[in-house]
Amino acid sequence: MNGSIFEALQINKVYKEIFLLSIPNMLTAITVPVLGMVDLAIMGHLDSEVYLDAIALGSVIFSFIYSIFSFLRMGTSGFVAQYFGQQNTGKQIITLYRVLLLAFVAGMLLIALQLPVEKLSFWLLDATQEVEQNAKQYFRIRIWAAPASLGIIGLTGWFIGMQNAKSPLYIALFVNLINIALSYVLVYHFGFLSAGVAWGTLIAQYAGLLLGLWLIRSQYRELFSQKRSESLIQWTELKLFAKVNTDIMIRSVTLIFTFSFFTAVSAQFGETILGMNALLLQFLMFFAYFTDGFAYAAESLSGKYSGAGDGKAFRAMSRAVFRIGLVISLLFSLVYLLFGRNILSLMTDIEEVLMAAEGYIFWLAIIPLSSIAAFVLDGIFIGTLSSRPMRNTLLVATFLVFLPVYYLLKGSLGNHSLWLAINLFMITRSLMLGYYYRRDILSVM
């Protein structure tokens, strides 16, 4: 009897921890696609599809660029959560210094290499001359935000690893409110068009970085005042850090390649299909970022529990996150199926795009169900620093499923082949990660 009561209390504690972390993380995560939707909506209500398509292509470029450095968040959160479970404050602080230094160097490198990056990006992306011209203007302004953007990514990972979900939310809300306000004013009141959205992003990113540094100083002053013997250069740890983050980088680049390919191929079907797919893809991204709130909670807690060697709490947390994820995916599928057309009409009033989208709403209803397991498992794998299965899964799902399905069926299904391929891509990720989860993680916890 006492054992049953204890288990019930433990389960309730785990659910409480998940929701305390996941709700702020969820709000933080959805600010990213919400901002993307707002940017597209600002462009979508202008008198031409050119501006909408330019922002869509420009955003793809930066998504790809920053995906290369997404390990600044994921790797950092995994390591810091492990150190949190071990109560090793020295390594928590050293990891923060390392990630901020790496973010600054990487950001400056991107600025220095902006010309070849621009040439390669627009060589790979197929668009009309007018769309490309506006997208280049957007790129040349926003690239100067790279150090700040990468710094925010690293700070977010550190806060998540420290079981602190509120600070990333404050940063995200601050950044996005500034971004939206500036973009609207610059586009509609000063006529900057694509450049206005870029300037809004640039200014907001640096403001967000300053806020993040201030939050660390104010919230962790005591932690930084402690004496520490650790140094930035510790070869054993740096080797593990490099291994995990290299796997995460390959995984992330492969993932963003898939979605970049999706957008690039969309352009070949014409400007209407490109605009429609860009808008519909925001539904998938919104769901992904929404569920990332729970994936981030899984990162924090799985890292903490595995670092502390608490297998019982780890298993309870895993079951709880899966149950929550399933309920959320069912709700999203229902909302997309019933109200997808209405939501689209809020984002654009271009009738050709709205009419084209009606035949694709059913794909949106399938996406949440096909992808939820992959999103949740990603968080668990990051928290336990199990990076290789994540890498292998993405390589298989992209190059052995997504691309073959598209190329085999594009002649008969057209644009529908892209949406079928992306759903099968998600299903493959879910199945493979589920296999690795049972084999590599549950077997040792």
Residue 348, phi-psi category: left (phi > 0), alpha (psi -120 to 50), beta (remainder)? beta
Spatial contact of 104 and 147, defined as CB atoms under 8 Å apart = yes
Residues 288 and 147 sit within 8 Å (Cβ to Cβ): no
Structure tokens at 293: 């709130």
Q: Which residue has the tokens 């510790």?
A: 234
Does 44 score more than 70 pLDDT?
no
Structure tokens at 185: 């004013």
CA separation for the pair 230, 413 (Å, rounded): 58
* DSSP 8-state code for residue 46: S
What is the secondary structure of 161-204 as a DSSP string? HTT--HHHHHHHHHHHHHHHHHHHIIIIIT--THHHHHHHHHHH
pLDDT tens, position by position, 25-34: 878 777 766 6
Tokens 């980088």 correspond to 249
Q: Which residue has the higher pLDDT, 121 or 444?
A: 121
The CA distance from 394 to 399, in Å, is 8
Residue 224 has pLDDT above 90, yes or no: no
Tens of pLDDT, residues 72-86 = 998 899 999 999 998
- Using the predicted structure, report yes or no on whether residue 252 has a pLDDT greater than 90: no
| Cα distance between residue 13 and residue 2, in whole Å | 16
**What is d(CA 60, CA 394) in angstroms, rounded to the nearest whole number?**
19
DSSP designation for 145: G
Tokens matching residue 22 = 């996941």
pLDDT at 232: 62
Q: Centre a 10 Å sphere on the Cβ of residue 417 and count the other Cβ atoms it contains.
A: 18
Closest CA to 297 of 11, 84, 23: 23
Q: Is the pLDDT of residue 287 over 80?
A: yes
CA atoms of 215 and 221, how far apart (whole Å): 10
Instruction: Check pLDDT > 60 for residue 47.
Output: no
> What's the chain's average pLDDT?
84
Higher pLDDT, 120 or 399: 399
The three-state (H, E, C) secondary structure of 229-287, written as one string? CCCCCCHHHHHHHHHHHHHHHHHHHHHHHHHHHHHHHHHHCCHHHHHHHHHHHHHHHHH
Q: Decide if pLDDT at 5 tops 50.
A: no
Give the pLDDT band of residue 36 (cuts 50, 70, 90): low
Cα–Cα dist 156/165, whole Å: 9
Residue matched to tokens 């004496």: 227
Residue 424 CA to residue 409 CA, distance in Å, equals 13
Residue linked to tokens 């040792």: 444
Sign of CA dihedral 415, 420, 426, 432: negative
4 is written with which tokens?
């049953």
Q: Is the pLDDT of residue 138 over 50?
A: yes
Q: What is the pTM of this model?
A: 0.81
pLDDT score of 419 more than 70: yes
C-alpha–C-alpha distance, residues 245 and 5, integer Å? 41
The answer to whether the CB of 327 falls within 8 A of the CB of 366 is: no
pLDDT digits (tens, 9 = 90+) for 319-342: 899 998 899 999 999 998 888 777
State the Cα–Cα distance between residues 111 and 39, nearest whole angstrom: 23
